[in-house]
Amino acid sequence: MSDLLRRLTEARGVSGNEDEVRQLIIEEVTPLADEVRVDRMGSVIAYKKGTRSNKKVMLCAHMDEVGFIITRIDDNGMLKFATVGSIDPRILPSKRVRIGDKAIPGVLGIKAIHLQEPAERERAVKVSQMYIDIGAKNKEEAEKLVKPGDYAVFDSECVYFGDNKVKSKALDDRVGCLTLIEALKSSYPFDLYACFTVQEEVGLRGAKVAGYSIQPDMALVVEGTTCSDVPGVDPHKHSTRMGEGPAISIADLASYSNKKLVSFLIQCAKNANIPFQIKESISGGNDAGEIQRAAGGIMTAVVSVPCRYIHSPSSVADLDDINNTIKLVQEFLKGCEAI
């Protein structure tokens, strides 16, 4: 698992520019599926024919990640940019990025603290005040390397550390992609559609198209979700807790999970002695929000891996939580035909 997770998280795939991670996923799932196709949005759909049932079950994980898009090159060679997806601006100064198809290295910069007025130091710096420095001396030199419309991604390697932890960018939602790849290694009585969707971070766009295209009998979304068990956060405000297993969602701002599927997930976890938790907040949203409303309505549920410091270059997850999420999804698939 560790090598595949490393390759998945280190692959570049900002929303709308998922080429590199998409190619990696295609290479991984082609030997495991009966058919692999890329839809018009760019999502990868791996189909595995069932052994006896005509039911259709959809697994969904998004392959895209948050990042940046270059909007302008200034005369001094600095790059202005906009964020792609939700990123806290306070984490950005001094972070390394890679830009465009050639992965040009750059650094996110702001005015030095020595030059800031006292009032400026008390406020979070806005994205509009930042720039990307690629070491170019002027606009002409910068234009030889990058252009407006190029995407940029956090430059962050996957590191295994501490008590069974992993640090990387894009754990949201490459942990879900890993889970789907593992699920494709088994056979099922029903037709399985493993969907690796695009553009989740900018509006659940790939999932909407995939849901209408497949029209499954049920869908399970596998996510990386907020883990807030950190200093300064009261226990009653913890959304999920690291090390306590996969988080089963009741609802979020985009969808309500189907009660039958939620009950079945809980029973699967209990029967297989898999630790699990109920996600304790309803903030945020994921691909379930569009799948649930597609094609007349689809039974949908969500199971997630808790991830600290989400949408940053240094998100952290527990390897046991990842492994137990994989196990829970596999247990779900063993019996969901009866629902």
| pLDDT per residue as tens digits for the range 88-105 | 999 999 999 999 999 999
Lowest mean per-residue pLDDT among 99-113, 209-223, 229-243, 256-270: 229-243
Residues 50 and 93 in one domain: no
Residues 177 and 281 in one domain: yes
DSSP state of 249: P
With a cut of 60, say whether residue 255 has pLDDT above it: yes
- Structural domain count of the chain: 2
Distances (CA, A) of 160 to 2, 151, 317: 9, 27, 10
Pairwise CA distance, residues 150 & 81, whole Å: 10
Q: What backbone torsions phi and psi does residue 253 show, to the nearest 5 degrees?
A: -75, -10
133 token code pair:
């420095």
Alpha carbons within 13 A on the beta-carbon side of 88: 9
Q: Is 225 contained in some domain?
A: yes
Pairwise CA distance, residues 294 & 116, whole Å: 50
Residues 264 and 321 in one domain: yes
Residues 100 and 200 in one domain: no
What per-residue confidence (pLDDT) applies to 117?
A: 58
Region label for 325, one of left (φ > 0), alpha (ψ between -120 and 50) or beta (otherwise): alpha
Residues 54 and 80 in one domain: no
pTM: 0.94
Which residue range(s) make up the domain with 139? 67-154
* CATH code (residue 252): 3.40.630.10
Residues 6 and 114 in one domain: no
Q: Active-site positions? A: 200
Lowest mean per-residue pLDDT among 73-82, 109-118, 236-245: 109-118
Residue with tokens 């969907």: 195
337 token code pair:
């035909």
Residues 316 and 200 in one domain: yes
* CATH code (residue 97): 2.40.30.40
Termini Cα distance of the chain: 30
| pLDDT per residue as tens digits for the range 159-196 | 999 999 999 999 999 999 999 999 999 999 999 999 99
Query: Which of 121, 154, 187 delimits the end of a domain?
Result: 154
Q: Give the residue ranges of DSSP H helices in the chain.
A: 2-10, 19-29, 118-121, 139-143, 171-183, 205-214, 259-271, 288-291, 319-335
| pLDDT per residue as tens digits for the range 13-52 | 999 999 999 999 999 999 999 999 999 999 999 999 999 8
Residues 50 and 145 in one domain: no
